[in-house]
Amino acid sequence: MIYPSVDQLLQNVDSRYSLVIMAAKRARQLRERLLDKEDPGFIKEVTAALEDIAVGKIGFERIKDGIK
């Protein structure tokens, strides 16, 4: 079973497209922070990004040109 589930994630965003964009941007942020650390025990960036979205740690703002 995948955690967090897509249904749970979609409660925090307005579309699957927004979810993908948010997860990708957050995963990139996490990867940049973890480049200096070489700890094999950390969780994957995408998993951490999806967990952040699920708990409401990050959000998005829709602007005219796209997601900010």
Residue 67 lies in a domain: no
Residue 27 lies in a domain: yes
DSSP letter at 25 equals H
For helices 16-34 and 45-55, what crossing angle results, to 10°? 120
Give the total number of structural domains in the chain: 1
Q: Which residues span the domain enclosing 18?
A: 6-55
pLDDT digit string, tens, across residues 19-60? 999 999 999 998 888 766 666 566 788 888 999 999 989 888
Residue 64 lies in a domain: no
Long-range contacts of 1-8 (CB under 8 A, 24+ apart): 4/50, 4/51, 4/53, 4/54, 8/54
Q: Taking the model in full, what pTM does it have?
A: 0.74
